[in-house]
Structure formats: C-alpha cells, structure tokens
Amino acid sequence: MFLTGDQIKKVKGKVVSNPTVSHLPGYITSAKPTDVANRAPWYKNTAPTYAGIFLWFVFWQGVTTTHQGFLGGTLAQGAGVALLGLVIAALICHAMFYFVPGMLGMKTGLPLYIVGTSTFGAKGGFIMPGFLMGVLQFGWLGVNIYFAALALSAMIPVKAEIIMVFWGVLAAFVGLKGIQYVAKVATFLPLIPLAALLWMFAKTQAGIASFQPEQFIASHKALAGAGTSPGVLSEWSVMTAVLTYVVGFFATAGAAGVDFGTNSRDKKNVSLGGLAGVAYAIVITAGLSMLIVAGVYGTPELNAKALAAGAAKKEFILDSFSLIPVVLGENTGKWLMFLLAVAAFPPACFSSFIAANSFRTTMPKVNPFISVGIGAAASIALAVSGVAGKVIPVFEIIGASFGPICGAMMADYVLSRGTWTGPRAGFNPAGWIAWLLGFVVGILPNLHRWRPEIFPDLPAAPVVAFVVGAVVYYICAKMDWRSEIVPWVYHLGEIIEREKKLILIVEDELDMANLIQLHLQEHGFETVVARDGVAGLETAIKRVPDLVLLDMELPRMHGLEVCRRLRSTPATRHIPTLVVSSLSSIEMKVQGLDTGADDYLTKPFKATELLARVNALLRRYTNLLHVEAMERPEWDTLNI
C-alpha cells in the first residue's frame, strides 16, 4: 500500500485521499487484495478446481468431433496425430493463457477485473475484461445446465426443463458463496468422470492398436451419406482443429487465472497449479476420450455395436459420451451418464463464481444476488430454449474474445518487467486496439463459414488472436499509445505513520554498512541492512522503508537494476532513494538519477552531509505506511 506526498494530506491525524485518486471508478477503489495468510497451496485450490473444469464431460466428449462434420473427425489421421495436437494445445493453454494472469493475481492479490485495468484502462476495464467476463460466464452456465439436465432426465422421471431451473439456481447460489466452496465441491465429484474415463479406457484399450483410420472414415462416410461431408482433415488440420477446440474452451478460464492467482502463495504454487490443473488435466481427460473412441472402432465387437447404435440414431457416433452404453451396456451406461451429469456441478459453480466476482468488482453497489440472479435466469432461458446446446460455435467466439485479452495482458506484463503497473486512465488505446484487431482475426473462421468468398479461413484462430493481441499491444506501447497510470491507494486496514523512520541500507562492504548504520541510529533512525542487490530489493518490498540508501557495485544485482525495479514496483515506487557510491563519474551520476534515484552521494563522505541529504529527502516525502504492507511477500517481483 503506498501514498505519495502530493496524494494525501493530514487532517487531525487521519489520512484523506487526494481528489485525483477519487476519479477512479468505484469498482476499483472498493477492491481489497487477498491476504497471503488466507491463501492455499496449489493442490487444495487451483489444481482441483481447474481439473474439475476439464473433467466436465461436455469438454472431453467433443474433442474428437468437428463442427463442420469432417469424416473421421480429429481421428482421421490416427490417434497419434490427434494426441500430438492435444499436448501442444495443453502447453499453450498453460504457458500463454494461464501463467501470466496467475502470476499477476498472485503478486497483487487483486482479481482480474482490477488487474485488467492496466491493459484496458480504468474505465475500459469495466467492460473488458470485467463486465464481459461475467456475462460470458452465464453462457457457460447455460451450456452446463443444458447438457447436465438432459443426462439427468434420462434417469429421473422429471422433465428436463424443470431440472434445468433447479440446476441453474443451485449452481448460482454456490458460486455466490465463493471460491472456497467451489473448491470443496470440486474435490470429490470430479473423481466420477475420471473413474468413468479410466473404466472405459480399460474396456477399449485392446482395440487401440487395431484402429484403422481408413476404415473409420469409410464407416463414417457410409452412414453419413455421400456429399454430406466437407471431406477429411489433413494432419495439420487435425492438430489445428484440436488446438482451436481446446484453447477456445479454455480462453476465459485462462484469463480467470488472475482470480486463482489471488489464492496462490508464490510462483511455485502458480506454476504447479497450472501444470497439474490445466496442462496435465487436458492431456489426461481429452486424451483418454480420444483413445476410447479409437479403441471402440478398433475392436470388432464394439465397432459393430457402435455402428448399429449410430444407424438407430441416423448419425455416426464420434463422441465418447454417446459411446458409454456401447462399451458398458445399456443399463450401466445410463447410470454412469447420470453420475457424469451430477459431476458436472463443479464447472457450473465455477462459472457462477467468476460471474459473481465480475459483478462484485464492476458493480460493487449492486447486490450480487440480484446481478447473478438475473444472469442465472438468462442461463436457464438459454438452456430451456436449446440455444446452449450448440457448443462448438460458442467455443470459437470465446476464443476470439479472450485470445487477444490474454495476449495484450502478457505484452503488458513483459513491458513492465513482471510487475503490475496499476490502473491506467480512461480507455487505454493500446489495449483496445490490440483487442479489436485480435478479435477480428479470431472470428475469421466464423465469417468464412458465413461468406467463404469474402473471408479467408484461419487455422488455430484463438492462438493467432492471442499473438495478434500481444504484438499489437507491444507496438502500440512502443509508440506511446498507452494512457497514463493513475495513482491509486487501496486500503487493507488501519493506516499509521511510523514514530521512527525506517532506512534500508543496501551495502556489500560490512564496515561501510556498520558506519552508516551507526550514524543514522545515533540520530533517531531505525535501520535495516541488506548485503546484495537481490536481498535489498526483497527487503524493500517486504518492509517498505521510508528511504533507501543504495550502493551501485553490488553482488547478485547491480544497483542501477535495483533502482529501476524499485521504481517499477507498486509497493516501492514512492520510496525516495539516495545512491551512496564510490563511482563518481558524471556519466554514472546521470545514469543513476535517470534510472530513478532521487539524489547521489559519492564516497568518501562526511556524516553531516549524509544526514543532511537523508533529512532533505524525507522532508519531500510523506511516507505513510500500512501495517500489513510490511508483511506482503506477494509484491515480490523477482520471481526467484
């Protein structure tokens, strides 16, 4: 937490924010960071909740299908090619769509709708990604309601429409209660689809080696009829189709990595949570689904049953969910499908939670029960009307929407060298230009299906949209098309002023450090010493001193780099820095001051001059500190 001298004024011992800060929207100023003491390890929060999303049968059942109806789907070139595309998609989801948002959430403790204001602006962030994320989550909730209710109605003597209403209301309620409840629900129910996939895999694995793509395609063509399919996917097209499907499904959840990051303790927890809950979960769930389909059509007996079941439905069965009765028998299959519908509840809660989080931050004065209730009603309407059943077009639009959002956020993160800069004023042009161009590129496949003579098709469109968003944002930033950063104060608790000023001495020579410490303590200052650049930066972030005395020639990290990072980190950018160095050249002094130092004192020096410069700098700054700010390791921007 930080305040600069011209942003505050004392009134009877209290602190009043400068009017400049009050120009920030209420959804920003009312945000409160997640305390590090309330955070959980990756295996209790991030990993199980993300894994619960990918264990949702609506995800893994459709990975072998295509929206256009290509013969053989994504298995047309064999299971190996499809699995390779799946592994690539899983790594892209983790590295490009999840990791940077997760790190930003961990470092700031703030949700996506606040963190995104550095990319899209304080006003623009209300719409993108803030409000849009919440609205889209109700689309996901509608998809969940639709498929879960259909599966449940096959076993329960209740109309699917009634189940849809009950399912949507319950999921919205649990989502409103917060992520800890979602994580608790997600702990055990995902074991059902995992067990189902492993059971079906065990029943079909013997046929995987005998799977013949040519025979598979011929069977599909015979059942579908001549001239009804656009053809067969090439190896490259199979991988890009898998990439589009998986990334499109994950795009919003990747951006929501910010919210999961607020509950992560450090970089290791962010990384492990993503690897286990995102990358590994994608490969396991969708990979088993692919192998099950290949195993069914590679086993003569099961192949005959599957073709007979497809003929009864007048369609070729490509998805593993519809093959459950073929593999396990009609009665057992119905019960398993019923249990899979029950296990779909955690993803529904996840959608409600993200929506609730969005509306809490973008509309803090509106009761979340009202906003989420309206959204849940819309989700139920989408499900009852059947619109929510068309999932693949939904995935494509979501990938086009959030691909450039994640790309622009990554570019912003790289440009700020791994820190969060804080909200930018108004609508940040760089972010909006990047999103618009990325979105146009991302929806080219949809436009191509509408007007193929005008719009070209584009493979792996969500990934390309991400790249376009990142590159365009970077170019716009270099052209200085970013709005100014707005100073912001957010409150975690009681604000106090130190009785004794704390001065951090970053000096590797022990005798010199002791001498400076002695002089300062004799004049009533509290001191802390760091013996290298890395330790100095870590101490500054965790202790937030009133002033930093900084040597230049330091082990592990040069003083210039320490100074630059102090200025780029929200928790320390307000701290005055006095360079105390034996490097006395004009060039070094200019470089030090340009990097962010407030004053430069060359060695050797007299104690009286040191004290005079220290007091002069402290007079210029009103350094009011938050008690909790001294214990906030999530501001650590070193990532070491």
Give residue 164's pLDDT.
95
**Rg of the chain, C-alpha, whole Å:** 28
Question: How many residues would you count in the chain?
Answer: 640
CA distance 354 to 138: 9
| Residue 157 main-chain phi, psi, to 5 deg | -75, 55
| Contacts of 384 by beta carbon, 8 Å cutoff, 6+ apart | 161, 164, 165
Give the DSSP letter string of 361-376: HHSTTS-HHHHHHHHH
Alpha-carbon distance of 624 to 417, in angstroms, equals: 26
CA-to-CA distance for 402 and 398, rounded, in angstroms? 6
d(CA 249, CA 227): 30
- For residues 534 and 554, give the distance between their C-alpha atoms in angstroms, rounded to a whole number: 9
H helices of 456-596, in order, are 461-478, 510-522, 533-543, 559-568, 586-595
Q: How confident is the model at residue 638, as a pLDDT?
A: 34
| Cβ 113 vs Cβ 130: under 8 Å | yes
Contact between residue 385 and residue 217 where contact means Cβ atoms under 8 Å apart: no
CATH (residue range 41-388)? 1.10.4160.10
Separation of alpha carbons 370 and 214, rounded Å: 54
Buried b (16+ CB within 10 A) or exposed e, 540-551: bbbbbbbbbbbb
Predicted local distance difference test score (pLDDT) of residue 406:
93
Burial call 499-532: b when 16+ CB within 10 Å, e when fewer: eebbbbbbbbeeebbeebbebbeeeebebebbbb
Question: Looking at the domain that runs over 495-635, which CATH code has it been given?
Answer: 3.40.50.2300
Q: What 8-state DSSP symbol labels residue 33?
A: P
Task: Give residue 9's pLDDT.
Answer: 34
Residue spans per domain, the chain:
41-388, 495-635
Contact call for residues 302 and 328 (beta carbons, < 8 A): no
* pLDDT computed for residue 17 by the predictor: 34
Phi, psi values for residue 62, rounded to 5°:
-95, 5
Q: Which two tokens stand for residue 421?
A: 């800069």
Residue 234 contacts by C-beta under 8 Å, 6 or more apart in sequence? 77
Q: Any idea of the CA torsion for 72, 77, 80, 84, to the nearest 10 degrees? A: -90
pLDDT at residue number 20: 38
pLDDT of residue 327: 96
| CA–CA distance, 213 with 78 (Å, rounded to integer) | 6
Please tell me what DSSP assigns to residue 430.
Answer: H
**Which secondary-structure segment (H or E) carries 61?**
helix 57-61
Q: What is the pLDDT of residue 393?
A: 72
Mean per-residue pLDDT pooled into runs of 10, the chain (640 residues)? 34 33 66 78 87 87 86 95 97 95 90 88 83 80 89 86 92 74 66 94 96 95 73 94 92 84 89 94 96 97 95 91 93 91 81 74 74 89 85 76 93 88 89 96 88 90 94 95 73 44 93 93 93 89 87 92 84 86 90 91 92 89 41 35
To the nearest 10°, the Cα dihedral for 359, 360, 363, 365? 140
